[in-house]
Copies of this chain bind each other. A is one copy, B any other.
Amino acid sequence: MKVAKLPTILVIVQVLFIVFFAIFADYAPSANAKYPENSKDADKGGADPSKNKLHSLYDMFQHVHVMIFIGFGFLMTFLRRYGFSSVGFNMLIAAFVIQWHMITHGLLHMATEHSSSFKIDIESLLTADFAAAAVLISFGAVLGKTSPLQLIVMAFIEIIVFVCNEYIGLYFFKASDVGGSMFVHIFGAYFGIAAARILYNSKVEDSKKEGSNYHSDLFAMIGTIFLWLYWPSFNSALAPGDDQHRAVINTYLALASCVIVAFAISSNSKEAKFDMVHVQNATLAGGVAVGTSANFMIGPWGALLIGSVAGAISVVGYKYITPYLARRWKAHDTCGVNNLHGMPGILAGLFGAIFASFASVDRYGNGLYEIFPARAPMENSTKLLEIQANFTISAGDDRSAVQQGGYQFLAMAVTLIVALVAGAITGFIMKMSPLDPVKERHLFDDGHYWETPSDFDEAVQFC
Show the binding face of A for B, using Cβ within 8 Å.
Answer: 2-8, 10-11, 13-15, 17-19, 21-22, 25-27, 29-36, 38-41, 44, 46-47, 49-56, 58-59, 62-63, 65-66, 69-70, 73-74, 77, 80, 83-84, 87-88, 91-92, 95-96, 98-99, 120-122, 125, 148, 211-219, 221-222, 225-226, 228-230, 233, 240-246, 248-249, 252-253, 255-257, 259-261, 263-265, 267-276, 279, 283, 297, 299-301, 304-305, 308, 362-368, 371, 390-392, 448-456, 458-459, 462-463
Q: From DSSP, what is the main secondary structure of chain A's interface residues?
A: helix
Instruction: Report if A92-B367 is in contact (Cβ < 8 Å); known contacts: A38-B242, A300-B27.
Output: no
Q: How far is the CB of A148 from chain B (nearest CB, A)?
A: 8
- In the docked arrangement, what's the CA distance between A364 and B39, Å? 9
What 9 A-B pairs have minimum CB-CB distances, sorted nearest first?
Answer: A49-B241, A33-B367, A95-B259, A10-B264, A455-B462, A39-B365, A31-B245, A22-B301, A39-B366
Flag if B365 contacts A35 (CB, 8 Å).
yes
Flag if A62 contacts B233 (CB, 8 Å).
yes
Our pick among B59, B228, B448, B456 for the contact of A58 (Cβ within 8 Å) is B59
- In the docked arrangement, what's the CA distance between A56 and B245, Å? 11
Q: How far is the CB of A120 from chain B (nearest CB, A)?
A: 6
Flag if B6 contacts A52 (CB, 8 Å).
no
Flag if B229 contacts A69 (CB, 8 Å).
yes
Instruction: Report if A261-B14 is in contact (Cβ < 8 Å); known contacts: A229-B62, A242-B52, A245-B53.
Output: yes
Instruction: Report if A69-B228 is in contact (Cβ < 8 Å); known contacts: A52-B244, A267-B6.
Output: yes
